């Protein structure tokens, strides 16, 4: 009768060893050259450098690609005389990573304008962008996670992910000759939305619910921002109006307001004012073209002023 006990003991041993082995294996993924994710990692790095080199208090535009394409930090600086950096890259990074990245750059006097895609209010999802960013470009994020989150993140790596990245590490998978990287302005705005490309891909799917952990995440984020002497203003994401009418229900919006109130975060603007007509769409329902960006940026600044938000002052003024 010892055999089943040996078997069961070995099952437990195998189950315990695997996460430790994968954790160790993930160390080898640092700085792998990966064509598919490099635009995210490099974009975040460059934007972070811009933010960190700005010593004066500034507006930090944070969120997913609706912010990346939706607001122009350069225009804010040029037209309103307020220093600003666009930190946003991709909603697939997930709200927790976006918060983490923003906190690295927030400092005293900053105003964080947070425009999360509607999907980011819901249950946490695991997009490849998040795991690739964490394991290849930003292991510091992984290192500070609780162990159970580490196990979840390791588990989100599919066998295909492991195979692809380990082959790239071993040099068996050659990078493309020209990697596509973000075309950024000096303030971190993505500026390749001048040519019309209205294919209108769907963008991230969402359930239209505020997830049970959202309020806690937002509260923790706002608290950490305040500890740095900065403040957060939540704005609604830019979304094409037809899509907005089709998918956004009043109850969901009310839940967002309730969550923001509970987290002690001020909401600026309205969801309707963030919805834009198709003529200003670039290539997805969340992305504005250059003209749309100009209009949305002015609208954002007007709404911040109307809400009485204290804008960081330009050092020259």
Partner 1 sequence: MAGGCHVTTAPRGRTFDLAPLLRDNAGRMLFNSYEFILGFLPLVFLGFYATAWVTRTGAAAWLGLASLFFYGWWSWAALPLLVTSICVNYLFGIWIGRAADRAQRHALLTAAVGANLVTLGWFKYSNFFLQTVNAIAGDAGHRTELLNVVLPIGISFYTFTQIAFLVDCHQGKVRETRFLHYLLFVTYFPHLIAGPVLHHAQMMPQFAKPETYRISPSKFAAGIALFTMGLAKKVLIADPNGLAANRLYDAPGAPDFFLAWHGTLSYAFQIYFDFAGYSDMALGLSLMFGIRLPINFNSPYRATSIIDFWRRWHISLSTFLRDYLYVPLGGSRHGAFRRYANLMITMLLGGLWHGASWTFVVWGALHGLYLVVNHLWRRRGSAGGQSLGGRAAGWLLTFVAVCFAWVFFRAGSFADAIHVLRGLVGLSGLHWTPGAHQWAYIAVAFALALFPWNSDVIAARIEHWRDGRPAFTITTGFAMGVLLMFSIMRLSGQDSPQFLYFQF
Separation between Cα atoms, residue 219 and residue 232, nearest integer Å: 10
Nearest to 58 by CA among 75, 77, 78: 77
Q: Estimate to the nearest angstrom the gap between the alpha carbon of 233 and the chain centroid.
A: 16
Task: Please report whether residue 121 would count as binding partner 1 according to CB under 8 A.
Answer: no
Rule CB under 8 A: choose which of 25, 151, 231, 290 binds partner 1.
Answer: 151
Chosen residue from 25, 124, 166, 242 binding partner 1 by CB under 8 A:
124
Please name the residue that has the structure tokens 């990692």: 41
Q: Which of 24, 55, 108, 148 binds partner 1 (CB under 8 A)?
A: 148
Cα dist from 130 to 116, 137, 142, 185, 297, whole Å: 15, 10, 11, 24, 27
Q: How far is the CB of 275 from partner 1 (least distance, A)?
A: 26
3-class secondary-structure state, position 198: coil
* Residue whose pair of structure tokens reads 């082959």 in the numeric block: 167
From residue 167, alpha-carbon distances to 67, 128, 159 in Å are 34, 17, 12
CB 66 within 8 A of CB 282: no
Identity of the residue, 31 or 149, whose beta carbon is nearer to partner 1 in the bound complex: 149
- How many residues in total does the chain contain? 317
Helix (H) or strand (E) holding 222: helix 214-227
Contact with partner 1 (CB under 8 A) among 14, 171, 250, 308: 14
Site residues for partner 1, window 21-40 (CB under 8 A)? 22
Residue 1 touching partner 1 (CB under 8 A): yes
Q: Is 100 in the site for partner 1 (CB under 8 A)?
A: yes
Site for partner 1 in 214-243 (CB under 8 A): 216-217, 220-221, 224, 228
Q: Which is nearer to partner 1, 87 or 288 (CB)?
A: 87
Q: Which residues pair with 307 in a beta bridge?
A: none
Residue span binding partner 1 (CB under 8 A) among the ranges 72-80, 97-105, 184-192, 248-256: 97-105
Taking the complex as a whole, how short is the minimal distance between the CB of residue 264 and partner 1, in angstroms? Answer: 15
**Contacts with partner 1 in 179-218 (CB under 8 A)?**
211-213, 216-217
CA dihedral 211, 217, 223, 229 (to 10 degrees): -110
Q: Does 140 bind partner 1 (CB under 8 A)?
A: yes
List 38, 90, 96, 240, residue binding partner 1 (CB under 8 A): 96
Stretch that binds partner 1, among 10-18, 23-31, 56-64, 296-304 (CB under 8 A): 10-18
Nearer to partner 1, 73 or 300 (CB): 73
φ, ψ for residue 92, nearest 5 deg? -65, -15
126 binds partner 1 (CB under 8 A): yes
Tell me the C-alpha distance between 299 and 77, whole Å: 15
- Nearest Cα to 61, choosing from 80, 85, 82, 81? 85
Contact residues for partner 1, defined by CB under 8 A: 1-19, 22, 45, 48-49, 52, 96, 99-100, 103-105, 123-124, 126, 140, 144-146, 148-149, 151-160, 163, 211-213, 216-217, 220-221, 224, 228
């Amino acid at each position: 009768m010892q055999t089943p006990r040996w078997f069961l003991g070995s099952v437990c041993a195998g189950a315990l060893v695997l996460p430790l082995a994968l954790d160790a294996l993930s160390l080898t993924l640092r700085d792998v050259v990966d064509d598919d994710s490099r635009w995210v990692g490099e974009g975040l790095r460059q934007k972070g450098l811009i933010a960190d080199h700005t010593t004066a208090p500034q507006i930090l535009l944070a969120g997913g690609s609706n912010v990346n394409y939706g607001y122009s930090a350069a225009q804010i600086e040029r037209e309103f005389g307020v220093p600003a950096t666009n930190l946003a890259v991709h909603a697939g990074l997930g709200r927790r990573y976006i918060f983490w990245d923003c906190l690295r750059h927030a400092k005293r006097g900053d105003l964080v304008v947070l425009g999360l895609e509607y999907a980011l209010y819901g249950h946490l999802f695991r997009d490849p962008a998040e795991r690739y960013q964490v394991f290849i470009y930003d292991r510091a994020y992984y290192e500070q996670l609780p162990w159970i989150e580490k196990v979840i993140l390791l588990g989100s790596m599919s066998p295909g992910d492991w195979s692809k990245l380990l082959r790239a590490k071993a040099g068996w998978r050659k990078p493309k000759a020209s990697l596509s990287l973000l075309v950024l302005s000096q303030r971190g705005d993505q500026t390749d939305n001048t040519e019309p490309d209205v294919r209108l891909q769907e963008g991230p799917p969402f359930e239209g619910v505020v997830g049970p952990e959202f309020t806690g995440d937002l509260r923790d984020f706002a608290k950490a921002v305040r500890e740095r002497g900065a403040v957060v203003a939540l704005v609604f994401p830019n979304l094409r109006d037809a899509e907005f009418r089709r998918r956004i229900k009043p109850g969901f919006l009310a839940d967002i307001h309730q969550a923001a109130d509970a987290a002690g975060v001020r909401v600026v603007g309205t969801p309707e004012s963030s919805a834009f007509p198709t003529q200003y769409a670039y290539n997805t329902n969340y992305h504005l073209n250059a003209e749309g960006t100009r209009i949305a940026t002015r609208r954002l600044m007007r709404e911040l002023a109307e809400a009485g938000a204290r804008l960081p002052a330009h050092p020259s003024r």
